[in-house]
Structure 1
């Protein structure tokens, strides 16, 4: 078991799985978990990415394993649980961070794009909560939602709908899995990730608007969201379940 960092919030002696943990928010969470003392399996569909993050986790002192997972396939999630638990022990923490974003107006979005976003962002979270919830005797599940769950976003009907569903699923799962397993979600605001591309680049109109409407005057970095995940996974949040934790720098949504 890897040693915990000098932090009042520790994940020492915890074993964690981060689905969607090879890039963006998920990768930042996996690495901060390792630095906080956890052993971690970070997974996605891409073999090379899984192997890359496993190497980095190992370099930070965490026990880990390389295993791919497709959240659209229940057998793949079952295999993930079995492989991860064999490698790092009984799983204490699950993070659901896999994501898909299709961009099209309601009138033009294809059923293929709609079904993919719903399947990855919502049904995939349900599958993982179900598989891991059946096997976890205690611990914490952290789902990554989005401010789009409560905000109209143009040309993202499936994404908005799926993230609203994640919030409802989180509360329902908290009721079903308690008191043994806590279930919470993080609702990030604007985060500078590969999925966002150059949308938040300095000098763009969108970036200037975000900075003006955010008391902290910046978009989030993945590590900002990872810190919240460490908290929810730790004993510091031992009386927190069914919560949707907003991490958006105080972004003003009043005119949305």
Structure 2
């Protein structure tokens, strides 16, 4: 007896990961490549784009060495056009660009607020507006955060931007259906090269997080990849407008 089902894989798909040269975005780019996808990992840094592209090729993916700035629609269009030209199309887009400013609600400046929301929220809008018209039966995956739904001190702009990302994800899912599915991932506390010192074992912050998290630890960035592969794959063909939380149970634990 056999049972037909759609496998969870991105093999043979063509993906663009904006913000894909560091942190969670880079892990997703590498994960897609290891699954058999061709992947363009892009950011503002040509050096990081080139380094990430080398690893993607080592993993067997075709790629394009191209930078972008999510505050500049022309640069996003350049990424889209080169991907379509060199890879033949775009099936998956991940918006993983990030910006953060640590200040209280009372103290955050207009400049810092505008910078964070321009990159983290308006950037998601620009990515969607740029790539969705070029996709056929495609999948967009936005990277949100627990900060969208939990109160975190000194992160008002970041929290507001991520809350907006989740609301925008639902709005875009409705408007772009049935051709393009739009979902989001809300990671919990994830160790990346950028925050390794902050979440290092033995620090007070790490101890507080581990104590509250039912799984008892923070995540490695590779642990976010599975959710991204699922949402980008044809196995999620009936999933749109959803936010998948990957936090070790942190949000469910009151104490």
Question: Which TM-score band (shorter chain)?
Answer: over 0.9
Contact 1:90 1:136 in 2 (8 A): yes
Matched, 1:215 2:207: no
Tell me, in whole angstroms, the C-alpha distance in 2 between the residues paired with 1:244 and 1:9: 18
How many pairs does the alignment contain? 249
CA RMSD of aligned residues (A): 1.2
- Specify the SS of the correspondent of 1:106: coil
Contact 2:71 2:123 in 1 (8 A): yes
- Specify the SS of the correspondent of 1:194: coil
Q: Please, which runs of 5 or more residues in structure 2 have no aligned partner?
A: 1-6
Deviates more, 1:44-53 or 1:197-206: 197-206
Cα shift at 1:32: 0.3
Q: TM-score normalised to the size of structure 1?
A: 0.94
1:25 aligned partner: 24
Detail structure 1 runs of 4+ shifted over 2 Å in the superposition: 194-197, 252-256
Cα shift at 1:26: 0.3
Cα shift at 1:194: 3.0
Matched, 1:139 2:138: yes
Matched, 1:244 2:243: yes
Tell me, in whole angstroms, the C-alpha distance in 2 between the residues paired with 1:191 and 1:88: 31
Tell me, in whole angstroms, the C-alpha distance in 2 between the residues paired with 1:11 and 1:229: 10
Task: Map 1:1-256 to 2 at 5 A.
Answer: 8-252=7-251, 254-255=253-254
Tell me, in whole angstroms, the C-alpha distance in 2 between the residues paired with 1:252 and 1:39: 34
Tell me, in whole angstroms, the C-alpha distance in 2 between the residues paired with 1:172 and 1:144: 15
Contact 1:145 1:186 in 2 (8 A): yes
Cα shift at 1:21: 0.2
Cα shift at 1:235: 1.2
Q: TM-score normalised to the size of structure 2?
A: 0.95
Contact 1:40 1:88 in 2 (8 A): no
- Specify the SS of the correspondent of 1:137: strand
Aligned pair in 2 of structure 1 residues 138, 252: CA closer, same or farther (>3 Å)? closer
Tell me, in whole angstroms, the C-alpha distance in 1 between the residues paired with 2:171 and 2:199: 34
1:4 aligned partner: none
Tell me, in whole angstroms, the C-alpha distance in 1 between the residues paired with 2:151 and 2:194: 19
- C-alpha offsets along residues 64-119 of structure 1, whole Å, 9 cap, x if unaligned? 01000000001111111001111212100000000001011122111111101000
Deviates more, 1:211-220 or 1:142-151: 211-220
Contact 2:135 2:180 in 1 (8 A): yes
Contact 2:95 2:142 in 1 (8 A): yes
Q: Please, which runs of 5 or more residues in structure 1 have no aligned partner?
A: 1-7
Contact 1:170 1:183 in 2 (8 A): yes
